[in-house]
A and B are shown apart, each in its own frame.
Chain A
Amino acid sequence: MSESIFGIHAAALELRSQRMGLIASNIANAGTPGYKARDIDFAAALKAHMGGANTDGAASTATRYRVPVMPSLDGNTVEMATEQTAFAENAVGYSATLSFIRGRIDTLSRAMKGD
């Protein structure tokens, strides 16, 4: 149902939301020794979803460990600048997807109301 109305945007929103959680986990673990930062390769996840995987499966197959620019002595690979930009980029993507969905809803409700 939601698939036919919203097209790819429903899955995209769910993936964006999962990615947001993952990046927030990285930010939360900025001071944890030995923590390895992870991120979802959004394009790969969306491709996997279009290939038939459900969103959870697509997100987990597209999850990658972050390669640090400069490894730190305690084994933590969280770099604040990287995480912040990734978080911001993801938030903008989430907003964009949300406006696509909103546009779709507006179109449908206008068609139903008939004005």
Chain B
Amino acid sequence: MNLFDVAQRAMSAQLVRMNAAASNLANAGSVTGSEGEAYRPMRPVFAEELDQSTGLATVRVAGVYRSEATPEKRYDPGNPLADAEGNVFEAPVDENAEMVEMLESARQYQNMVEALQTAKQLMLETMRMK
């Protein structure tokens, strides 16, 4: 494994995280007729992947987990999706948390790009030495 693999996998992992946050935001406010069907926010969890031979550590997405939060029950008998009691269940998405998640992900992605750029520059300089 080299530095480029490390950066590439880290950026892919951040992309998964950003996509999950985007999916959660997209589903904010979506309603269903039963508690079980309601959308549960997704959250990827990262794990370290150490390459023993080089000592470099990259990232892998260990899994994408669904939040355990209970959907919000709302009385809305006029809604065509409402159940027998006139309740609908709203996806328990915390928009603020998702925005923070997205910002943090973007920042970490940016940092990785910057580090990669510097490393690439130095490698090119080393190669161009006559």
Contacts and interface: CB of A to CB of B under 8 A. Distances in A.
Are both chains from one complex?
Answer: yes
Interface of A: 13, 18, 20-35, 38, 59-60, 63, 80, 83-84, 87-88, 91, 94-95, 98, 101-102, 105, 109
Contact of A28 (B58, B105, B107, B129): B58
Given A33-B46, A95-B125, A21 B111 contact: no
A95 B58 contact: no
B3 A31 contact: no
27 contacts: A20-B119, A21-B3, A21-B54, A21-B56, A24-B3, A24-B112, A25-B57, A27-B111, A27-B112, A28-B7, A28-B57, A28-B58, A28-B59, A30-B111, A31-B46, A31-B104, A31-B108, A35-B57, A60-B55, A84-B111, A87-B115, A87-B118, A91-B119, A94-B122, A101-B129, A102-B129, A109-B130
Main secondary structure of the interface of A (DSSP, over half): helix
Contacts of A20: 3, 119, 122
Interface residues of B, number: 34
Contacts of A101: 129
A80 B104 CA distance: 11
B105 A31 contact: yes
Given A24-B6, A25-B56, A29-B59, A98 B122 contact: yes
